[in-house]
Structure 1
Amino acid sequence: MTAETPGAPGAPGAAGQTPHERSPGQSLPPELQGASDARDPRRTRRKRAITAAIATVAALALVLTGCGALPGLLSSFNGGRESQLPDQLPTGTVESFGAQKPDWVPCHGGMQCARVYAPLDWTELAGERITLGLVKSPATSGHAKGTVFVNPGGPGASGVTYVADSVEFAVGEAVRRDYDVVGWDPRGVGESSPVRCLDSKGMDEFLFGEGKTAGLKEGSDAWIDAALLENRAFGAACEQRTGPLLAHVDTGSTVRDLDMLRAIVGDPKLNYLGYSYGTYIGARYADLFPDRVGRLVLDGAMDPTTSLEQVVEAQTLGFETALRAYVTDCLKRRDCPLSGTVDQGMSQIGQLLARVESEPLRGSDGRPVTTSTFLTAIITPLYSESNWPLLDDLFVSVNTGDAETALRLADFYYDRENGSYTSNSTEAFSAINCLDYPQSAIDPEGMRAQAAKLVEIAPTIGKYQGYGEVSCAGWPVKSQADRAPVTATGAAPILVVGTTGDPATPYTWAESLAKQLESGVLVTFRGEGHTAYGSSPCVAKIVDDYFVEGTVPSGSPVC
């Protein structure tokens, strides 16, 4: 679930869950990096681990509800930084919110951090306020000609963490020389007013526990009822802890926040780099504010018109195809844990999944490794070809009954360290997606038909990808989403980047988005992995020239 930005709302783990993606540039844990670095020292320089977008890993579901007290809306995920808020409160007009003067303070070794206000509800500007967290990497030239805003995807991924930890990966050197680079946490995420649901123990139970569906036949009426109950309980916890913010974390609200941030930094037009789900934010921005489009790059593009069912199908096929690509490469090596033909190698992976389904493994900390956790561990390295060697270690360990590698990969995916969750990305992912996709009544027969189709198009992993509709079936906040096409009529040229072997945001989505946008320019990277700017020097040059010189490539370049 990477981007949706994801496919079905949610994150892999509990019954009926779908995963969110990882952010470009996020590095793998040291113990996991070591496994792959030993095989290829270049991997330490390619920090392109898992990206955030909408992946599809099994189907998660949540139910949140809105209401509740306002305490906490002005506090960040890490406890709040009230001293960084502007001295003067916005007076309840669009102009007053855009006229805020951020109190930038030093942070992250040479960067600057701040927080600003945004209206809880953009239709009630004089109502309650929330806060947004930002980080700025000042232009290295000392003379910024503007700002480039960056979003790494998700939904639920932290733009603050992404820029603070990996700005050199996120944005090219030439762009960093000429522009201030700003990452922000969208509403509901991390350093901004966050969605909160469960404590670490509760998240462990929700994501890794066998839950109410244990022992029931997947897809049966009893299984669906149990999955709905489990997800409603999760949603109730989110409602209780998050309050009214839960109804206002949709992408439409984030788009208006982004235009406010553009005004705050003083740019007449928006310069923006969005990855995965971040491309959805950028596309919706261009459609709503076409006259304010400066230089926009949308890498790992989403198709704004895709339905939840279409996303699940596309991502299931995408990850199955990426897994076949890994197997094809693996079988060329002597140390490959698989053998025979590519079909036989895929069958061996399927047999491991079946074995875990019948007899879950158990880690040293007592957590079980069910098929949902195992599948999360498989999908995590598939976001980048540079991480494929981690799959060797995963399959060897699971084949010997060792759960530790699977749990470490899943922990990385969920931002879990030493038993605690370092971000609220999973909760935010669910809350945002459940507002961004139209909701419909549960249709058991329809879900069963789709589940059968997933097995047909993805024989190895498709069996474990169905029933994502339970994710938001009981969501208390009704979605107002409209999955309409975008045109951005009159906007300046917008670069849409697609990778032919992208498992999380299929290349066809980039083609579709570029066609929808009146000024869309498709840039193709023939390669594997999720997003291209950090992987292809050819794509990097096109993007850098566009930001720095304003050069729009002719035709539809292929790298």
Structure 2
Amino acid sequence: MDTRRLLSTLATTLATAGLLITGCTAGSSTPSASASASPKAAPAANLTSYYAQKLTWRSCGAPGFECSTMKAPLDYAKSSSGDIKLAVSRKKATGPGKRIGSLLVNPGGPGGSAVDYLQGYAGIGYPAQVRARYDMVAVDPRGVARSEPVECLTGKEMDAYTQVDQTPDDAGETTLLTIALKDFARGCEKRSATVLPHVSTVEAARDMDILRGILGDEKLHYLGASYGTFLGATYAQLFPNRTGRLVLDGAMDPSLPAIDMNRDQTAGFETAFQSFAADCIKHEDCPLGTTSVADASTNLKKFFTTLDAKPVPTGQSRKLGESLATTGVIAAMYDEAAWPELRASLTRAMDGDGAGLLSLADSYYERQENGSYANLMFANAAVNCLDSPPSFTGPDAVTAALPSFEKASPVFGEGFAWAALNCTYWPTPATGRPHSIEAKGAAPIVVVGTTRDPATPYKWAKSLASQLDSGTLLTYEGDGHTAYGRGSDCIDTAINTYLLEGTVPSTGKTCR
């Protein structure tokens, strides 16, 4: 496992071969509504040149896509701080029908590439009627992918990091884990010292408003998944009068401290695993047994313990130990379509071949075939640790919290608790704090929650919808992470209607 679970949508996986992400929390300083939030208000004097940029577009990626680079202040509080360059991509509205505007998309993370998501999925996979009337647009947030990415470890260093035992059995193993976390943090500081203090969610949201102005849109239309919901809600809090049609799918709860988010997410993955186990035991080939969900949980935990003592070969130099195996299982919890692959991979691993689970873990970490890694995990930690104070003060605090995490998930609790220690050693102090987001004055916002979502538990969506002054909750009763574009005609129709007509779903609407 790595840090807190990644909060990114499955469609990121389809687009970029990555899978998940860690529970993050509030933004860089509690955002308040901008004093110049009128859609036609002039930007602050020190930002005028940024809003007045003229982008030079060039063809890129698949046919129909264009790319450019925009500038934003590295530090919004210091005009002399210099610029940060952000990668932007778009695909113009195809018609027929009158163009509504730009639809900015973000797949989550933090750390997921919005440009990859646009070009690999949203720009070709979103419903044709939506793509017909919106310019589909993405910007890689600061510190992510093509936008001056945070870098921390080499490929070989990352290989070693992902294999560190995250369920330490004694003081020696605890020391090794803390050394690994400190080395990770030092690597980020060494390679990314300039950008590291300036990758907060608030700053990314302010970048989005500059892009809105550059594109000539009076209001921002936006679809954010997973962590992207926090980014979108933060925008609405900062610029309520510039907020257009916002869909927040797989919502986060920005009011929660990091430790509560981690614990909730631990319970979310337990719920998802129980759904998988209930399905698995119906199959004769279920490697966890065919008697009960409880037995399946016990058998998986025993298997992890076995791997902790004796990793199995994978056909590569890396063996499959407990940490990588756990990550592989977690990766498959994001979408029920991955359950057959997980059954097969567990079967192979229990027979002494860990290649399948290793492949799932590599997809989670966005490890490339040449042994390099995308910057997903680096940006993920950088944003999370800046956005919220750490969950724990040190190993003793983790030990004290273990019972509550293990209660949340007997299978994953211990590992999730120790993984939340990462921000304790972060070189850049947190600038954000947990807070509610009301976004008073914003247009109606649709918040989507899935009842058995592992990464963003359903209660988070309920909470965010209730916090937002104009929030409406849309519920998907089902499995997997996020809901739009994942097979529910009911969900897709409700969101498409909102995006195209501005009509919000009826109060209490639930799709199955």
Within a 5 Å distance, the mapping from 1:82-231 to structure 2 comes to 93-108=46-61, 109-141=63-95, 144-167=99-122, 171-209=126-164, 217-218=169-170, 220=171, 222-231=172-181
1:484, 1:237 → 2: CA distance? 30
Give the letter aligned to residue 20 of structure 1: L
How far off is 1:225 after superposition? 3.9
1:395-410 correspondence runs (5 A): 395-410=346-361
Q: Give the percent of matched residue pairs that are identical in Structure 1 and Structure 2.
A: 38
Distance in 1, matches of 2:217 and 2:432, equals 29
Matched, 1:284 2:239: no
Number of aligned positions between the proteins: 489
* Contact in 2 for aligned 1:138/1:144 (Cα 8 Å): no
Normalised by the length of structure 1, the TM-score is 0.83
Structural mapping, 1:410-449, within 5 Å: 410-439=361-390, 442-449=393-400
1:273 paired residue number: 223
Question: Which secondary structure does the structure 1 equivalent of 2:476 belong to?
Answer: strand
- 1:544 maps to 496
Letter in 1 for 2:205: V
Cα deviation per residue 1:42-91 (whole Å; 9 max; x = unaligned)?
Answer: xxxxx9997545369xxxxxxxxxxxxxxxxxxxxxxxxxxxxxxxxx99
Task: Give the one of 498, 506, 509 matched to 1:554.
Answer: 506
CA distance in 2 between counterparts of 1:55 and 1:489 reads: 26
What is the aligned partner in structure 2 of residue 79 from structure 1?
none
C-alpha displacement of 1:23: 3.5
The 1:514/1:50 distance shift into structure 2, 3 A limit, reads farther
Quote the Cα distance in structure 2 between the aligned partners of 1:473 and 1:465: 15
Task: Judge conservation of contact 1:374–1:406 (CA < 8 Å) in 2.
Answer: yes
- 1:52/1:157 contact within 8 Å kept: no
- Where do residues 67-82 of structure 1 align in structure 2 (5 Å cutoff)? none
Q: CA deviation at 1:443?
A: 4.6
Secondary structure of residue in 2 paired with 1:455: helix
Q: Partner letter of residue 103 of structure 1?
A: T
1:498 maps to which of 449, 462, 466: 449
What is the rounded CA distance, in whole Å, between the counterparts of 1:446 and 1:126 in structure 2?
41
Once the two structures are superposed, what CA deviation does each residue of 1:219-249 show, in whole Å capped at 9, x if it has no partner?
x4x5444333222222222112112111101
CA distance in 1, matches of 2:508, 2:139: 31
Sort the Cα spacing of 1:440 and 1:495 in 2 relative to 1 into closer, same or farther, 3 A. closer
Q: CA deviation at 1:92?
A: 7.8
Q: For 2:116 and 2:16, how far apart are their aligned partners in 1?
A: 15
Cα-to-partner distance string for 1:477-511 (whole Å, 9 max, x where unaligned): 11111211010011110000000010100000000
Compute the displacement of 1:422 (Å): 5.0
Q: Report the more deviating stretch, 421-430 or 379-388.
A: 421-430
Higher mean C-alpha displacement, 17-26 vs 345-354: 17-26
Of residues 207, 222, 247, the one that matches 2:197 is 247
AA of the residue aligned to 2:497:
D
Q: 1:449 to 1:525 in 2, by over 3 A?
A: same
Change (3 A) 1:410 1:469: closer
CA distance in 1 between counterparts of 2:123 and 2:44 reads 38
Kindly tell me: are residues 297 and 49 of structure 1, through their superposed partners in 2, closer, same or farther at Cα, counting changes over 3 Å? farther
- Shift of residue 420, structure 1, vs aligned partner: 2.8
Secondary structure at the counterpart of residue 137 of structure 2: strand
In the TM superposition, what is the alpha-carbon distance from 1:444 to its structure 2 partner?
Answer: 4.0
Structure 2 unaligned regions, length at least 5: 25-42
User: Over the residues paired in the alignment, what is the CA RMSD in angstroms?
Assistant: 2.3
1:25 aligns with 2:11: yes
Contact 1:51 1:530 in 2 (8 A): no
Q: The residue matched to 2:428 in structure 1 has which SS?
A: coil
Q: How far 1:322 sits from its partner (Å)?
A: 0.9
For residues 396-430 of structure 1, the C-alpha deviation after alignment (integer angstroms, 9 at most, x for no partner) is 01111111111111111111122333521111111
Which residue identity lines up with residue 302 of structure 1 in the other structure?
Answer: M
Cα pair 1:152 1:162 within 8 Å, conserved: yes
* Partner Cα distance (1:466, 1:547) in 2: 39
User: What is aligned with 1:511?
Assistant: 462
1:358 to 294, 304, 309: 309
Query: Residue type matched to 1:230 in 2?
Result: A
